[in-house]
């Protein structure tokens, strides 16, 4: 490894990575390599993002592990290059992670990365709302996502995958609170309540990760 922490907060991000990943930091570094090479070559990551992979992408996603518990079944929808799913699975190996991605080239990349990293993660090719995906990955404790869709659509895709009492955990930007205000009615009608905004990684990242959390109510257990 040479220079992967350069140009993006350097020492602070290295310290954050050591804290978040602990003894699994070498696995996270291998993931960085995959994103910076095959991820760029296949168009999953823009070449200009290489210098920002740790701060803007890997750590931004991995700190979501703060709101997850060991043993939980987590489904990451629209996984793309594995953000947040792969990063979270590296940071918290005690969860059961499933990545859902509809595009073949991305799903293939995910399967290759999971195998290369040697992590216990399942990859399903399909759309979150498809019956086959719900059957295979449904009744999850948590559904995660990042930059997939506005909150109303995201809720419609996530809710069928959640067990009653399960949680939506969506990485969002500065407009998270505004999105909640805009879509709270729709989300309530589809069975999501307790919407709130939380910050992850506040004690270690230059810019904490903003997440929207909600809980599924009703439905069959």
Decide: 53 and 122 in contact? Cβ < 8 Å. Answer: no
Give 2 or 179, the one with higher predicted confidence.
179
Cβ(127)–Cβ(155) under 8 Å?
no
Q: Answer for the pair 214, 193: CB distance below 8 angstroms, yes or no.
A: yes
User: Which pLDDT does position 4 carry in this prediction?
Assistant: 64
Express as a percent the part of the chain with pLDDT over 70. 95
How far CA 21 is from CA of 25, 87, 88, 173, 175, in Å, comes to 5, 9, 9, 23, 28
Q: For the full predicted model, state whether its pTM sits above 0.75.
A: yes
CB-neighbour burial class of residue 152 (10 A; exposed 0-12, middle 13-18, buried 19+): middle
Residue 173 has pLDDT above 60, yes or no: yes
Structural domains in the chain, CATH included, are 62-216 (3.40.50.150)
pLDDT in tens, 53-112: 999 999 999 999 999 999 999 999 999 999 999 999 999 999 999 999 999 999 999 999
Stated as kind and residue range, the H or E segment containing 141 is strand 140-146
């Amino acid at each position: 490894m040479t220079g992967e922490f350069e140009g993006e907060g350097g020492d602070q991000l290295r310290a954050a990575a050591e804290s978040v990943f602990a003894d699994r930091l070498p696995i996270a570094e291998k993931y960085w390599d995959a994103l910076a090479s095959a991820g760029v070559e296949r168009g999953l990551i823009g070449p200009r993002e290489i210098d920002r992979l740790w701060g803007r992408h890997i750590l931004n996603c991995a700190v979501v592990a703060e709101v997850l518990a060991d043993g939980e079944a987590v489904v990451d929808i629209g996984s793309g290059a594995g953000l947040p799913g792969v990063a979270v699975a590296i940071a918290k190996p005690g969860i059961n992670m499933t990545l859902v991605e509809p595009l073949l080239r991305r799903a293939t990349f995910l399967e290759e990365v999971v195998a290369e990293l040697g992590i216990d993660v399942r990859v399903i090719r399909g759309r979150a709302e498809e019956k086959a995906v719900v059957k295979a990955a449904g009744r999850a404790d948590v559904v995660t996502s990042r930059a997939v869709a506005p909150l109303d659509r995201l809720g419609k895709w996530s809710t069928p995958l959640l067990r009653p009492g399960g949680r939506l955990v969506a990485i969002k930007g500065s407009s998270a609170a505004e999105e909640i205000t805009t879509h709270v009615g729709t989300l309530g009608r589809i069975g999501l309540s307790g919407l709130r905004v939380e910050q992850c990684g506040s004690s270690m990242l230059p810019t904490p990760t903003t997440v929207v959390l909600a809980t599924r109510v009703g439905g069959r257990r």
